[in-house]
Structures are given as structure tokens and as C-alpha cells.
């Protein structure tokens, strides 16, 4: 049987998700034995940027016309497009400036000749093309990536958690930083999958995996209020990694 052809492609981002893939040290040989990686600029200069792909994993957000053109080309050449990481899924940190005065920002960063640069307001992949699967994380979780590849090899899409970080935090029997220490923890409104990494280290969740669309927002809002945490602080913090849609704001 032919191995599925796969591309791992980066738009504008830190390449952290691609590094997670390269860091799958114990599984890398199995991975390249099971899939035919054709296009992976971060790992090889011998890239096939033209052939049809069964799966394209795309990291980063769209912040320029160049990014948008590349993303549209990738969409045309692949069957399944996976948004890899929070920048690709939600827009990530580059979307923090959505509420800001963009001309002033461009002047501050690029000076008076800012119009010469190829920039546009940052967008998530789904705002430009159809996305078949979202794999959030800043960066992604290695186990989720490997499980995704295994599922795709079997012709399935993986079932990823759609519940909040608090669920994993409770399963680890951590003391609650929000209730016991009155800290602004985004666990109630952020999507799980990281095994509550930060609260398990006594650090409040900053929502790097993006919003949990299945969160009980009414209850979360009440719990924040009971513990003296202002919703403006929660929403401001959430916007670090995702421009929170109004319908998903607590
Ligand atoms: S609010 Fe934070 S510390 Fe408390 S249970 Fe949720 S994730 Fe854990
Ligand atoms: S606990 Fe929150 S900030 Fe930490 S890795 Fe998980 S989602 Fe990201």
C-alpha cells in the first residue's frame, strides 16, 4: 500500500509546533515508515512543493498576502488540512492587535515606510480556507499529534478533548488556584488536552490552547465573580491567544 503523502507547512509563527514533531524522537522512525513526508521545509531542503498531498499540517497564522497565497495553494493540493497549533486554529498571539489602531501600530513597528511591507491583520486558517481538523496548543501536544497521525492512517479523524482544562486539573487532584488563591486562572474557559500542565505546577492557566467551546460559561462567570476575579481580566487574558468570538465570551 502506498504511504499517505504528507506536508508540514509553516506560515508566520515560531515553528514551535514543527519542532514538537521533530522532537518525537522515539517515534520518528515509525513516523517516516508510515507516512511519506513530501514537504517539510523546517526539516529538509529537498522539498516537493507541488505534488498532491493526502494530509497537510499547517502551522502559523496568516499575516501577509504571501501567507494567504501559500495557504490557498496548500488547500488546493491537499485532501485533509489540519490547523497545527493555536496560531493556526485561532490566530494566536498575532491576533492580539485586533482591537488596536492598526495604522499606528504599523508606523510604530515599520516606521513611515510601513506601507511597503506585505502585512495584513492576522487571521486564523479557518478565516481564509476550509479546515478539516484543529489541533490547538502553544505548542501542540506531542501525544495528540501522534494520535492524530495514527487516526488519519486508519481513515478516522481523532476525537480531541472539547472540555475545559479544569476537568483535567480536577482529575489530577490539584488545589484550585482560582478558588483557593483567587488567581486569574483560565482553566474554566480553555480547552483541555495539556493535562492541566500549568496549574499542576502551581501556575494559573493563561489559555494557550484557546477557548473551550463546550465550557459552561454561565457557571464560569459566576465562579470568577464569587472569587473576586473581574471578567474584563479574564477576557483580556483570553485575547492573548485567541480573538474571543462574542458568542464564546463568558
Ligand atoms: S481554575 Fe485553574 S486551578 Fe482551578 S481547577 Fe480550573 S484549571 Fe485548575
Ligand atoms: S494549562 Fe493552560 S496555559 Fe498551560 S499548557 Fe494548558 S492550556 Fe496552556
DSSP output for 141-183:
-HHHHHHHHHHHHTT-------SBHHHHHHHTTPPPHHHHH--
Give me the residue label for grid cell 503523502: 5
**166 CA distance to ligand 1 middle (Å):** 5
Q: Angle, nearest 10°, between helix axes 217-226 and 231-238?
A: 120
Q: Is residue 131 part of a domain?
A: yes
Cell of 59: 502551522
Instruction: Please tell me the distance from the alpha carbon of residue 69 to that of residue 72, in angstroms, as a whole number.
Output: 5
Note if the pTM is more than 0.85. yes
pLDDT at site 200? 98
Residue 83: strand, helix, or coil? strand
Asked whether the predicted pLDDT for residue 231 surpasses 70, the reply is yes
In the chain, DSSP assigns E strands to 5-10, 36-39, 53-59, 78-84, 133-135
Asked whether the predicted pLDDT for residue 245 surpasses 80, the reply is no
Asked whether the predicted pLDDT for residue 186 surpasses 80, the reply is yes
- Closest residue by CA, ligand 1 atom 4: 176
Do 132 and 177 fall within a single domain?
Answer: no
Residue 192: strand, helix, or coil? coil
Do 139 and 103 fall within a single domain?
Answer: yes
Mean pLDDT of 83-110: 93
Candidate from 171, 173, 178 with most ligand 1 atoms within 8 A of CB, to mutate:
178
**Would you say the CB of residue 161 lies under 6 angstroms from ligand 2?**
no
Instruction: Please tell me the distance from the alpha carbon of residue 74 to that of residue 130, in angstroms, as a whole number.
Output: 11
Do 22 and 83 fall within a single domain?
Answer: yes
Q: Is residue 248 part of a domain?
A: no
pLDDT (tens digit per residue) in 108-118: 999 999 989 99
Do 211 and 148 fall within a single domain?
Answer: no
CB contact at 8 A, 12 and 60: yes
Range of the domain at 203: 165-241
Ligand at minimal distance from the CA of 183 is 1
pLDDT (tens digit per residue) in 145-158: 999 999 999 999 99
Cell of 221: 462567570
Q: Is residue 237 part of a domain?
A: yes
- Closest residue by CA, ligand 2 atom 4: 198
Candidate from 161, 164, 168, 169 with most ligand 1 atoms within 8 A of CB, to mutate:
169
Q: Is residue 175 part of a domain?
A: yes
Q: Is residue 246 part of a domain?
A: no
**43 CA distance to ligand 2 middle (Å):** 27
Amino acid at each position: 500500500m502506498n504511504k499517505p503523502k504528507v506536508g508540514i507547512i509553516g506560515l508566520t509563527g515560531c515553528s514551535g509546533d514543527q519542532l514538537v514533531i521533530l522532537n518525537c524522537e522515539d517515534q520518528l522512525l515509525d513516523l517516516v515508515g508510515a507516512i511519506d513526508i513530501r514537504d517539510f521545509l523546517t526539516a529538509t531542503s529537498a522539498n516537493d512543493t507541488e505534488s498532491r498531498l493526502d494530509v497537510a499540517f499547517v502551522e502559523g497564522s496568516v499575516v501577509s498576502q504571501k501567507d494567504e497565497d501559500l495557504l490557498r495553494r496548500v488547500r488546493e493540493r491537499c485532501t485533509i488540512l489540519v490547523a497545527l497549533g493555536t496560531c493556526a486554529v485561532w490566530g494566536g498571539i498575532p491576533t492580539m492587535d485586533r482591537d488596536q489602531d492598526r495604522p499606528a501600530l504599523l508606523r510604530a513597528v515599520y516606521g513611515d515606510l510601513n506601507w511597503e511591507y506585505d502585512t495584513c491583520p492576522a487571521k486564523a486558517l479557518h478565516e481564509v480556507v476550509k479546515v478539516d481538523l484543529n489541533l490547538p496548543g502553544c505548542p501542540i501536544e506531542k501525544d495528540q499529534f501522534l494520535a492524530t497521525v495514527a487516526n488519519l492512517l486508519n481513515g478516522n479523524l481523532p476525537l480531541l478533548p472539547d472540555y475545559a482544562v479544569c476537568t483535567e486539573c480536577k482529575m489530577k487532584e490539584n488545589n484550585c488556584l482560582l478558588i483557593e488563591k483567587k488567581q486569574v486562572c483560565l482553566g474554566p474557559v480553555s480547552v483541555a488536552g495539556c493535562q492541566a500542565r500549568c496549574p499542576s505546577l502551581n501556575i494559573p492557566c493563561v489559555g494557550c490552547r484557546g477557548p473551550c467551546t463546550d465550557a459552561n460559561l454561565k457557571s464560569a462567570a459566576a465562579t470568577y465573580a464569587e472569587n473576586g476575579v473581574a471578567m474584563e481580566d479574564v477576557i483580556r487574558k483570553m485575547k492573548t491567544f485567541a480573538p474571543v468570538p462574542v458568542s464564546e465570551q463568558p
